[in-house]
Amino acid sequence: MIPVLLIVIPLVSGLLGFFLRSEKTARGWALLSSLVTLAVTLWGVGVDKTSPLLQANVEWLPDLGSRFAVGLDGLSLILSLLTAVSFPLIFIATWRDQYKRAWNFYALMLLSQAGLLGVFVATDALLFYFFWELALIPVYFLCSQWGGERRIAATFKFFVYTFVGSLLMLVGIIWLYFHTPDHSFSMESFYKLRSTISNSDQTWVFWLLFVAFAIKMPIWPLHTWQPDTYEQSPTATTMVLSAIMVKMGVFGVIRWLAPVLPIGTWAWGDTVSVACIIGMVYASLIAMKQDDLKRLVAYSSIAHVGLMALAIFATDQSGMQGVMIQMFNHGINILGMWIVVDLIERQFGTRKISQLGGLATKAPGLAILLVIVALANVALPLTNAFVGEFLLFSGVFTSTATQYNVVFTAVAMLSVILSAVYTLKMIQGVFYGKTNALTEKAVDIRLNEKVALGVIVVMIVFIGVYPKPVLELTKDAADFILTKMNYK
Amino acid sequence: MNAILLSAVWGIVMMFSGIFTTSKTAIRNVAVVGLVLLVLGNYADMIGYHLMTVNVHKMLYFDTFGLLGNLIAFGSTLLYVLLSGRDMEKVGHHLAEYFALIFFVLCGVAIVTTFNTLLMLFLGIEIISIPLYILTGADKRNLKSNEASLKYFLMGAFSTGLMLLGIAFLYGATQTGTFFIDDLWSGKTAVTPLFMAGLLLLLVSMAFKVSAAPFHFWTPDVYDGAPTVFTSFMATIVKVSIFVGFIRLFDEAFGDSQEKWQVFVAIIAAATLFIGNVTAVFQQSVKRMLAYSSIAQAGFMLLALLALNGVAKEGIILYAAAYSIATIGIFAVLIRMKDYTFEGFNGLARQQPVLAATCTIFLLSLAGIPLTGGFFAKYYMLSSVVATGHYLWLVIFAVLCAAVSVYYYFRVIQAMYFKDGDGATEAEPGLGFKGLLVVLAVIVVVLGVWPQSLLGQLSRLIYTW
Amino acid sequence: MNASAVVFYILSAFILATGLLAVTSRKIFRTAIWLLFSLTGVAGLYFWLGMQFIAAVQVVVYVGGIVVLIIFSIFLTQQSGKDLPSPLRRRTVFSALAACIGFALTCLLLSRYSSFRVKESDYDFAPDMSISAIGNQLLSTSEHGYVLPFEVISILLLAAMIGCIVIAMKSKPGDK
């Protein structure tokens, strides 16, 4: 019931949104819809885990062995929560952004939310694939229509990248389907596959699925679409992309790859891990060199997601739980970063760090909020990311799935240090130093941005100080996945 | 049998309608009535009601697969005439004759989808081809149209020759000397070099008719040169119907020697996918791009021929429906455009939001994006090959080609939505036209969300017969 | 060697010789005429085999129809008296190659099926090959009748005829 609502509410309100003809109504409509979705999600978090409210299973394509099966467990709950929290925040934070034909913009945003929630709650592989693609289409239109100057080329690159990945995944899913004993796409049947598929088959089918997820995350060397797309998209869409969409890749591995093909996952664990840490260090180094704020945040995101992927392949209890929590934390934090970037861009018309400076004296409120968000991005203690990254590192360090755990931990640590360097450099460049002609007339943030950033900061600190509720939410799911991932 | 009778009779009715009335609307209405009758008649055949009992001596065999193929062909033609019938008037003033020829083509379609002897297959293919040569050259003042017609005729005649030679070889290979395709089944006929030579010649000539590479050279020029209304007809209804016959032939006649010819089909499919998709990328005209895209789509349909299992047969029906409807829709919009290049579509979304939105749905369907019929069509093709357990390389190759296809389909979407221009149509399209486009788009989406609506019917019929 | 064999060899030599001349002649009109003779020779071969119907079809369709059509088109397009330009080297090579492959295929098939001949005993049951029998069977509605293809062919011819009219009819002045 609840997961169905989660898909239907944004879907229907999105479709209706196309028929609104005033920017104000459309904006209010979108916010209202996203708040209702949030309320439903919180209801889902509140009810008992075994409640039938959290499951739905209806006939869809009986001949194909696919059902409209959706369900919420710890993993999908936390990601649904992230999605449901992010959208109202995005709408509030970009309240003052002007769009041509804004009703289409908001309608497409809601449709992308429907697609994302569908991905997270689907427990049927074909349905999962369906939503996986559906989440992409609105985003394609959003970026191409309302993005920056090079938007068409950049978005197209993004689309083709992800589409190639998803098609390979489709082949993989079909292949797996024909190997399920009962010819079914259901998650249960897929989880039983491990016993019927030979080890050698697992090792190559792994790649069919993994490429799709790796492109989405993205993992080096498949990341090249990301900085361009982030840079060229309208900020609200960039927020969706980086806060939620990249989590689709991580989620895909946890739900549809690692438990289905444990041997394949284990066999390629070291290879993928090496790619992850190369990507982390590489992205951090590039981020240090960036002058453009959007690109800086984009590269920092690659580094952070790399760490999550690394921890999945470590196959460790604390690591797995760390991934689930960190997905949420990273979403919140990067949302905060984007809001700040958007504020700066709107006020000064530039994103170049070199052209900014001295904002702290002119906009103290903004400066304080940004510093907190930035510190969370570096994972300082008492912030939410610290909890997540601590679990991630301890997971990687104690991992028994790989013999290089110490090396991986050490190199990954290096990237965290680098992330501190570029984050602090950014704060310094933007907020301290001398004001110039451009920043002279700066004004402090307004109410809507204060609300959005305020909520984010509260969440950052709350989870950083008292992570217990989030940990409890994800514990069962992490344990369940790990039992399925047992490669021995 | 209903369909063959009705279409032949209505062809003659159309011919005479040109004598008794000069009103173009009246002629068009007669054609629409005929098509409705055809659809109903064919449906009556499916539920077991026949206009008259004709003993065909097993020369035709009316199974569900063929009849469903008919139903899709006739239904698509009905939609096509409703959408684009008005545009046929602009080609020349033999409107009644054009409709008569279209009905004769449909007669050929009905034979090709239900043939049971090679003789009938040959006649069916010829009845389809000859009117098409004429329709291609219907725009007599246009040199390109004349050239296309002649080219199509010469190439078509050549492939017909190959087909006849193949049929003659197969006739010799059956010890009893018969054209019946059941007699080609092993046990009755040994797989000898003569048999294989005949089989390959048939494969080549049928591949030619569905414009599979490397026998596709006529396609771009003919599709480009022909009047756009008739290109739409050729690229959709005719092509998928011949595919139904193609599958029928190889399933019924050569199904048990599959491993001997499968590799040839695999090569042809891979070449078709590659050439169709890669060449389409470089086109500047949307019409020519659609010609290459139809080659590329044929490559996908060849996957069903390769697999030839239950999934493949269900899939080809779905593919036929999804592909025909989407392509007819795009062509209907294209005909109304002033400029056939990609630039001609610039800014269409602002001028004609309904046309642009429906066109987008059709293009997404051709690209195989979920929520559209094209997705399940491609899904069936891919899974039919995966189900055989071999040729996984071809499946992966096919999806990579599908990713390439996104490039040129999305170019149209980009032009319509994200580029500025006046995207002008020749005249303001009427409400009926827009309404029909929306209906087509809804069908495409329904097939994409709930393909069971068509396939449930299909599999129930296939498995209970 | 009996008289029948002598006739066969004379006919074959005639077909081959005129065929060769048709290919080698440098004047296109002569080529057409040599082709005419060659095709007539083939008709003769059919007569020799006792297949009057096919022989008649051969004469009517090929000799009477196609060659005449070819001659017409030569008159309409080419200057029939002039020598043709000598063919391109590349084209010669490929043509020769194609001919060789065709010849090889025929030889292969013949060698494999050289034992394939109608047994003497089959003559008792051999179908009646007379023209009237063929005509009867073509229009018969019985088990082995071909009335259905016959009717279908008539649709085909009707379609072709309409097509010819569409192509050939002059547009009325003032119309598009």
Domain count of the fold of chain C = 2
Given a cut of 70, whether residue B170 has pLDDT beyond it is yes
- Phi, psi of B285, deg, nearest 5: -105, 135
Q: How far is B399 from chain A (nearest CA, A)?
A: 6
Q: Does B53 touch chain C (CB under 8 A)?
A: no
Shortest Cα distance, chain C CAs vs residue B320, angstroms: 25
Distances (CA, A) of B112 to A164, B36, B258, B317: 37, 20, 21, 15
Q: Tens of pLDDT along C63-79?
A: 888 898 888 888 887 66
CB contact under 8 Å between B60 and C141, yes or no, is no
Average pLDDT, stretch B271-287?
91
Whether the per-residue pLDDT at B15 is higher than 80: the answer is yes
Task: State the chains in contact with C (3 or more Cβ–Cβ pairs under 8 Å).
Answer: B
Cα of C174 to nearest chain B Cα, Å: 11
**Residue A274 in domain:** yes
CA distances from A163 to A110, A249, A325, B384, B448 (A): 21, 13, 28, 21, 18
**What tens digit of pLDDT does each residue of A11-49 get?**
898 888 888 888 888 888 888 899 999 998 888 888 888
Residue-wise pLDDT tens digits, A230-274: 888 888 888 888 888 888 999 999 889 888 888 888 888 888 888
Which of A130, A152, A171 lies nearest to residue B396, judging by beta carbons?
A171
Q: What is the pLDDT of residue B463?
A: 52
Alpha carbon of C7: minimum distance to chain B alpha carbons (Å): 27
CA dihedral over A350, A351, A354, A358, signed as positive or negative: positive
Q: Is the pLDDT of residue B109 over 70?
A: yes
What is the domain extent for residue B127?
2-464
Give the helix, strand, coil percentages of chain A, each rounded to 5. Answer: 75, 5, 20
- A interface test, pick of B314, B346, B394, B410 with most A CB neighbours within 10 Å: B410
Closest-CA residue of B relative to C174 is B93
Asked if residue C58 is part of any domain, the answer here is yes
pLDDT of residue A409: 87
Total domain count for chain A?
A: 1
Residues of C whose CB is below 8 A from B140: 167, 171
Mean pLDDT (whole number) for B167-195: 80
Report the largest interatomic distance among the alpha carbons of chain C, rounded to a whole angstrom. Answer: 73
Q: Which tens digit of pLDDT belongs to each residue from B47-84?
A: 778 887 777 778 888 888 888 889 899 999 999 999 88
**Helix or strand holding residue A102 (H, E):** helix A102-121
Cβ separation of C143 and B119 shorter than 8 Å?
no
* Residue C166 structural domain: 128-176
Q: Tell me the mean pLDDT in the region B350-369.
A: 90
Report the Cα–Cα distance between both ends of chain C, in Å, rounded. 70
Residues in A lying within 8 Å of B, measured between beta carbons = 60-63, 129-130, 133-134, 137, 141, 144-145, 151-152, 156, 159-160, 163-164, 167-168, 170-171, 174-175, 177-178, 208
Let me know if residue C32 belongs to a domain.
yes
CB B357 within 8 A of CB B428: no
Q: Tell if the CB–CB gap between B127 and C166 is shorter than 8 Å.
A: no
Over residues A204-232, mean pLDDT: 86
Task: Pick the last residue of a domain from C17, C48, C83.
Answer: C83
Give Dmax (Cα) for chain B: 68
Confidence of residue B465 (pLDDT cuts 50, 70, 90): very low
The pLDDT value given to residue B437: 92
φ/ψ (deg, to 5) at B217: -60, -30
* Cα B73 to the center of its chain, rounded Å: 8
**pLDDT: which is higher, A394 or C113:** A394
Task: Report the distance separating Cα B96 and Cα B19, nearest Å.
Answer: 9
User: What are the φ/ψ torsions at residue B55 (nearest 5 degrees)?
Assistant: -85, 110
Q: According to the 3-state scheme, what is the secondary structure of A259-303?
A: CCCHHHHHHCHHHHHHHHHHHHHHHHHHHHHCCEHHHHHHHHHHH
Cβ separation B370–A130 shorter than 8 A: yes
CA of B83 vs chain A CAs: smallest distance (Å) = 26
Task: Note whether A334 and A327 are within 8 A (CB).
Answer: no
How many interface pairs between A and B have CB atoms less than 8 angstroms apart? 73
What CA–CA distance (Å, rounded) separates A411 from A147? 36
**pLDDT band, residue C114 (cuts 50/70/90):** low
Residues of chain C contacting residue B12, judged by C-beta atoms under 8 Å apart: 158
User: For residue A441, is pLDDT > 50?
Assistant: yes
State the smallest CA–CA distance between residue C88 and chain B in angstroms. 22
Per-residue confidence band for A427, with pLDDT thresholds at 50, 70 and 90: confident
In this model, does residue B115 exceed pLDDT 50?
Answer: yes
In which band, very low, low, confident or very high, does the pLDDT at A96 lie, cut at 50, 70 and 90?
confident
- Indicate yes or no: CB of C156 within 8 angstroms of CB of B60: no
> Closest Cα of chain B to C156: distance in Å?
5
Closest C-alpha among A90, A69, A18 to residue A187:
A69
Task: Tell me the two tokens of residue C19.
Answer: 């065929």
| Long-range pairs of B442-447 with CB within 8 A, sequence gap ≥ 24 | B443/B325, B443/B373, B444/B322, B444/B325, B444/B326, B444/B329, B444/B361, B444/B362, B444/B365, B444/B372, B444/B373, B444/B374, B445/B361, B445/B371, B445/B372, B445/B373, B446/B373, B447/B318, B447/B321, B447/B322, B447/B325, B447/B372, B447/B373, B447/B376
Cβ-defined contact of C167 to B60 (cutoff 8 Å): no
Closest CA to A422 of A247, A304, A331, A278: A304
pLDDT band for position C174 (50/70/90)?
very low
Residue B203 confidence (pLDDT): 94
The residue-averaged pLDDT of A446-473 equals 85
Flag whether residue B107 sits within 8 Å of chain C, measured between CB atoms.
yes
Q: Is the pLDDT of residue B132 over 90?
A: yes
With 0-12 / 13-18 / 19 or more C-beta atoms within 10 angstroms meaning exposed / middle / buried, residue B397 is middle
A326 closest CA partner among A279, A388, A384: A388
What is the C-alpha separation between B384 and B301, in angstroms, rounded? 11
Instruction: Kindly report, residue by residue over C23-47, the tens digit of the pLDDT.
Output: 888 888 888 899 999 999 999 999 8
Sequence-distant (6+) residues with CB within 8 A of B35 are B74, B77, B78, B81
Q: CA-CA distance, A457 to B200, in Å (whole number)?
A: 71
CATH code of the domain in which C24 resides = 1.20.120.1200
Question: How far apart are the CA of A138 and the nearest CA of chain B, in angstroms?
Answer: 12
Whether residue B331 contacts residue B387, with contact meaning beta carbons closer than 8 Å, is answered with: no
Residue with tokens 């020829």: B101
Is C88 inside a domain boundary? no
Same domain, C79 and C146: no
- Residue C170 φ/ψ, nearest 5 degrees: -75, 140
Helix/strand/coil for B414: helix
Q: What angle do CA B37, B38, B43 make, to 5 degrees?
A: 95
DSSP string, A296-345: HHHHHHHHHHHHHHHHHHHT-HHHHHHHHHHHHHHHHHHHHHHHHHHHHH
pLDDT in tens, B397-452: 999 999 889 889 988 988 888 888 776 777 778 888 899 999 999 989 988 888 87
Report CA-CA distances (Å) from A132 to A136, A165, A212, B277: 7, 11, 10, 24
The count of structural domains within chain B is 1
Strand partners, A239: none
Which residue among B119, B127, B137 sits closest to C167, beta carbon to beta carbon? Answer: B137
Interchain CB distance below 8 Å, A129 and B370 = yes
How many helices (DSSP H) and strands (DSSP E) are in chain C?
A: 7, 0
Number of Cβ within a 10 Å radius of residue B104: 30
Cβ distance of B414 and A130 shorter than 8 Å: no
- What span, in angstroms and rounded, lies between the C-alpha atoms of B108 and A160? 41
Q: Is the pLDDT of residue B323 over 90?
A: yes
pLDDT of residue B296: 93
DSSP structure string for C100-147 = HHHHHHHHHHHHHTTT----GGGGGTPPP-SHHHHHHHHT--STT--H
Q: Is C44 inside any structural domain?
A: yes
> How confident is the model at residue B271, as a pLDDT?
93
Nearest of A118, A13, A136, A116 to residue A71 by alpha carbon: A118
In this structure, the number of other CB atoms found within 10 A of the CB of residue C6 comes to: 10
Q: What percent of chain A lies above the pLDDT cut of 70?
A: 99
Which residue among A129, A156, A170 places its CB closest to the CB of B410?
A156
In a domain, residue A89? The reply is no
Quick check: is A319 in a domain? yes
pLDDT at C122 exceeding the cut of 60: no
Closest CA in chain A for residue B413: A141
Q: Which of C148, C163, C172 is nearest residue B130 as measured by Cβ atoms?
A: C163
Does B contact C via 3+ CB–CB distances below 8 Å?
yes
Q: Identify from A103, A141, A171, A211 which residue to disrupt to test chain B contact, counting B C-beta atoms within 10 A and taking the largest count.
A: A171
Same domain, C74 and C2: yes
Please provide the average confidence, as pLDDT, over all residues in chain A.
Answer: 85
In a shared domain, residues C13 and C76: yes
pLDDT for residue A316: 83
* Confidence at residue A1, expressed as pLDDT on a 0 to 100 scale: 82
Candidate from C113, C143, C159 with C-beta closest to B101: C159
ipTM above 0.85, yes or no: yes
Q: Identify the domain containing residue A298 by its residue range.
A: 268-488
B308 phi-psi bin (left φ>0, alpha ψ -120 to 50, beta other): left
Q: Do chains C and A touch (3 or more CB pairs under 8 A)?
A: no
Q: Any idea what DSSP says for residue A60?
A: E
Does the pLDDT at position C176 exceed 50?
no
- Is C165 a member of any domain? yes
Backbone angles phi, psi at A67, to 5 degrees: -125, 155
